């Protein structure tokens, strides 16, 4: 039985002025809030636990359990912080969601805040997306004006303020503790854990940090129930999610479907691979996840199955590369991203990415050696699991998996450079000379 799309979050993205409060309300928006405010907060947490909702930011930690880690109220503040610092190459789900229906997120923020006893929630947004920032600010203002935020949320007596904060464009600030430091006005670098944010988070107070999509999924769970949510997806990866297809597909975009759908099914919906080409490799969850190939077309895209197949579901950012693409080139570009974005706190990530880029650039330029390939693998081994936070691990995923899957292609570069024509892979007019960032550049 072919899996079908299950639009929930994206259902009304095409509605007229979908980002306005009126448009959101016209499609039943904020009904879940009314239900939630009449429910005991503990029951809301139970409902989310029972739904099986897992964090949509990449790690897949059960959302309800995370909320349950908060210590008992002590009279002091506790915070909800929404991680909207979507920065991973290939990942493009939260930004369209906030762009199209920011109230969906806001409703989730209000319900979650009510459930965990938070009176000041923060949305930490990637700073470059100014248009989304404006939409969010506008939505928050509308919500205040409509009495959905402020001293008396929807007449319930519950008090909540929401602050939208624009970051300054650092990948590291998507790491939850670096995000908290940045939000506090400090240099964005990950904190030592423990203490975990649930115990000492923002301003050293108990804090829940959740991804945009996770929080935006909460209203639907309240509205339709945990059982409805569990009816989608697999046993341990319940519900639906946004699958972002990009690259060499006919119709790239966000496909909202139950977890467990396969790339083969998604590609069918997206019109298949670019005309006249074959699938070569793809990322199941963004650039921090090990590469898959056509062999993995039927791997169910849920946390367990993808993990069992040797990668990670991550953020369901499916970057599709057809046979025109040089894998060395793609991996080098990703490595350059990680080098550029390494926060510098720990040695393995800071120095390792600096080194990897130089080796990869040499290989791409035809100046590599066989030893370089071994060095790449070993340096990755010395980064993976040795870095301070998970972002260092992510830098190695495509390199180690790429080397395992496409070693011959790497070797083919060793004598004379890249056998591919970059223009053939480009989906836009390609000017030669805008080629690689230039092997041998340093310190950029």
Partner 1 sequence: MTSTTTSGSAAAGTVVPEVTFIIDDVEVSVPKGTLVIRAAEQIGIQIPRFCDHPLLKPAGACRQCLVEVAMPDREGNLRPMPKPQASCTLEASPGMVVHTQRTSAVADKAQHGVMELLLINHPLDCPTCDKGGECPLQNQAMSNGRATSRFVDVKRTFAKPLAISTEILLDRERCILCQRCTRFSNEIAGDQFIDLQMRGARQQIGRFDPAVLGFDGGGELPLFVGADEDGNPLTRAEGMRTAAEAPERPVGPAALDESGHPFASYFSGNTVQICPVGALTGASYRFRSRPFDLRSTPSVAEHDSNGSAIRIDHRRGVVMRRLAGDDPVVNEEWLTDKDRFAFTWQTAPDRLATPLLRDLGEDGAPGELREASWAEALTVAAEGLAAARDGAGVGVLPGGRLTVEDAYAYAKLARTALGTNDVDHRARPHSAEEASFLGHAVAGHGIDVTFADLERSAVLLVGLEPEDEGGVIFLRLRKGVLAGRTRVFSVAPFASRGLARVSATLLPAAPGTEPEVLDAIGDASDPDLAAAAEALNGGVVLVGERLATVPGALSAVLRLARRLGARLAWVPRRAGERGSVEVGTLPGLLPGGRPVSDGAARTELAAVWGVEKLPSTPGRDLTGILTAAAAGDLRALVVGGVDPADLPDPDLALRALDRAFVVSLEVRASAVTERADVVLPVAPPAEKPGTFWTWEARPRPFAQALTSTALPDHRVLHALAGRLGTDLGLGSLTEVHTELGGLAAWSGARAEAPHVAYPEPPAPGEGQAVLATWHTLLDAGRCQDGEGFLAGTAPRPVARVSAELAARIGVGDGDPVTVSTEHGGITLPAVVTAMPDGVVWLPVASPGSAVRTTLRVDAGAVVGVAAATTDGEQA
Q: Which of 90, 55, 95 is nearest to 317 (CA)?
A: 90
Task: Find the part of the chain contacting partner 1 (CB under 8 A) among 97-105, 261-269, 351-359, 416-424.
Answer: 351-359
CB of 443 to partner 1, least distance (A): 5
339 binds partner 1 (CB under 8 A): yes
How many other CB atoms are there within 10 angstroms of residue 130's CB atom? 10
Shortest reach from residue 347's CB to partner 1, in Å: 5
Minimum CB distance to partner 1, residue 178 (Å)? 11
Angle between helices 327-341 and 347-364 (to 10 degrees): 150
Regarding beta strands 279-283 and 292-293, do their DSSP bridges make them parallel or antiparallel, or are they unpaired?
antiparallel
| Shortest Å, Cβ 360 to partner 1 | 11
Write each residue from 286 to 325 as x if it is in contact with partner 1 (CB under 8 A), else as -, in one continuous string: ----------------------------------------
For residue 351, state whether it binds partner 1 (rule: CB under 8 A).
Answer: yes
Using rule CB under 8 A, residue 335 touches partner 1: no
238 φ, ψ to 5°?
A: -85, 160
Asked if residue 147 binds partner 1 (CB under 8 A), the reply is: no
- What is the dihedral sign for C-alpha 324, 328, 329, 335? positive
Q: Does 76 bind partner 1 (CB under 8 A)?
A: no
Q: Taking every pair of C-alpha atoms in the chain, what is the biggest distance, in angstroms?
A: 72
Q: How far apart are CA 438 and CA 329, in angstroms?
A: 11
Say whether residue 363 binds partner 1 (CB under 8 A): no
123 binds partner 1 (CB under 8 A): no
Euclidean distance between CA atoms 311 and 289, whole angstroms: 6
345 binds partner 1 (CB under 8 A): yes
Distance in angstroms (rounded) separating the CA atoms of residues 290 and 292: 7
Q: By CB under 8 A, tell whether 260 contacts partner 1.
A: no
Candidates 147, 195, 344, 419: give the one binding partner 1 (CB under 8 A): 344
User: Is 413 one of the binding residues for partner 1 (CB under 8 A)?
Assistant: no
Pairing of strands 317-322, 207-211: unpaired
Distances in Å between the Cα of 388 and the Cα atoms of 50, 125, 178, 344, 346 are 33, 23, 11, 10, 6
Q: Quick one: which of 98, 341, 391, 401 contacts partner 1 (CB under 8 A)?
A: 341
Asked if 378 and 352 count as a contact pair (C-beta separation under 8 A), the reply is: no
Element holding 111 (H helix, E strand): helix 102-116
Check binding of 440 to partner 1 (CB under 8 A): yes
Residue placing its CB nearer to partner 1 in the complex, 172 or 261: 172
> Which residue lies nearer to partner 1 by CB, 126 or 345?
345
- Using the contact rule CB under 8 A, the part of the chain among 30-38, 82-90, 109-117, 335-343 near partner 1 is 335-343
Q: Calculate the alpha carbon distances from 252 to 213, 256, 274, 338 in Å.
A: 19, 13, 11, 24
Neighbours of 92 (CB within 10 A): 20
3-class DSSP assignment, residue 79: strand
Please say which residue, 287 or 353, places its beta carbon nearer to partner 1. 353
Q: By CB under 8 A, how many residues form the interface with partner 1?
A: 38
Site string for partner 1, 154-193 (x = CB under 8 A): ----------------x-x--------------x-x--x-
> What is the DSSP annotation of 211-262?
EHHHHHHHHHHHHH-HHHHHTSB-SSSBSEEEEEEEESBSS-EEEEEETT--
382 binds partner 1 (CB under 8 A): yes
Q: Does 350 bind partner 1 (CB under 8 A)?
A: yes
Single residue of 353, 397, 398, 400 touching partner 1 by CB under 8 A: 353
Q: Interface residues with partner 1 (CB under 8 A)?
A: 170, 172, 187, 189, 192, 339-348, 350-355, 358-359, 362, 371, 375, 378-379, 381-383, 385-388, 440, 442-443
């Amino acid at each position: 039985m072919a899996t079908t799309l299950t639009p929930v979050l994206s259902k009304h993205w095409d509605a007229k002025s979908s980002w306005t409060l009126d448009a959101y309300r016209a499609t039943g928006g904020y009904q879940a809030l009314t239900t939630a405010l009449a429910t005991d907060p503990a029951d809301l947490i139970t409902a989310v636990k029972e739904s099986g909702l897992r964090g949509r930011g990449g790690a897949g930690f059960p959302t309800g359990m995370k909320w349950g880690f908060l210590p008992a109220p002590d009279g002091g503040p506790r915070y909800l912080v929404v991680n909207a610092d979507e920065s991973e190459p290939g990942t493009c789900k939260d930004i369209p969601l906030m762009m199209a229906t920011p109230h969906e997120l806001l409703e989730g923020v209000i319900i979650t805040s009510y459930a965990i006893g938070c009176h000041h929630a923060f949305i930490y947004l990637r700073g470059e997306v100014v248009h989304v920032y404006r939409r969010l600010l506008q939505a928050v203002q509308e919500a205040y004006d409509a009495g959905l935020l402020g001293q008396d949320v929807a007449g319930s007596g519950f008090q909540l303020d929401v602050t939208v904060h624009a970051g300054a464009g650092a990948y590291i600030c998507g790491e939850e503790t670096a995000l908290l430091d940045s939000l506090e006005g400090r240099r964005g670098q990950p904190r030592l854990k423990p203490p975990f944010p649930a115990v000492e988070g923002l301003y050293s107070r108990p804090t829940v940090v959740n991804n945009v999509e996770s929080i935006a999924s909460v209203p639907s769970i309240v509205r339709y129930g945990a059982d409805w949510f569990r009816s989608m997806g697999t046993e341990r990866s319940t519900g639906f999610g946004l699958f972002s297809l990009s690259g060499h597909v006919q119709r790239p975009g966000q496909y909202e479907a139950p977890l467990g759908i396969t790339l083969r099914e998604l590609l069918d919906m997206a019109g298949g691979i670019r005309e006249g080409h074959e699938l070569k490799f793809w990322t199941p969850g963004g650039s921090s996840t090990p590469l898959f190939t056509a062999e993995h077309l039927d791997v169910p895209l849920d946390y367990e199955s993808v993990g069992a197949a040797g990668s990670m579901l991550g953020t369901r950012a499916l970057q599709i590369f057809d046979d025109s693409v040089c894998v060395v080139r793609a991996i080098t570009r990703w490595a350059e991203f990680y080098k550029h974005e390494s926060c510098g706190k720990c040695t393995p990530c800071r120095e390792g990415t600096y080194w990897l880029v130089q080796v990869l650039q040499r290989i791409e330029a035809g100046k590599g050696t066989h030893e370089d390939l071994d060095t790449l693998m070993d340096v990755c081994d010395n980064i993976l699991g040795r870095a301070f936070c998970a972002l260092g691990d992510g830098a190695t995923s495509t390199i180690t998996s790429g080397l395992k899957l496409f070693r011959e292609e790497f070797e083919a570069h060793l004598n004379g450079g890249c056998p591919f024509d970059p223009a053939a892979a480009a989906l836009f007019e390609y000017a030669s000379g805008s080629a690689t960032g230039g092997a041998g550049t340093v310190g950029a």
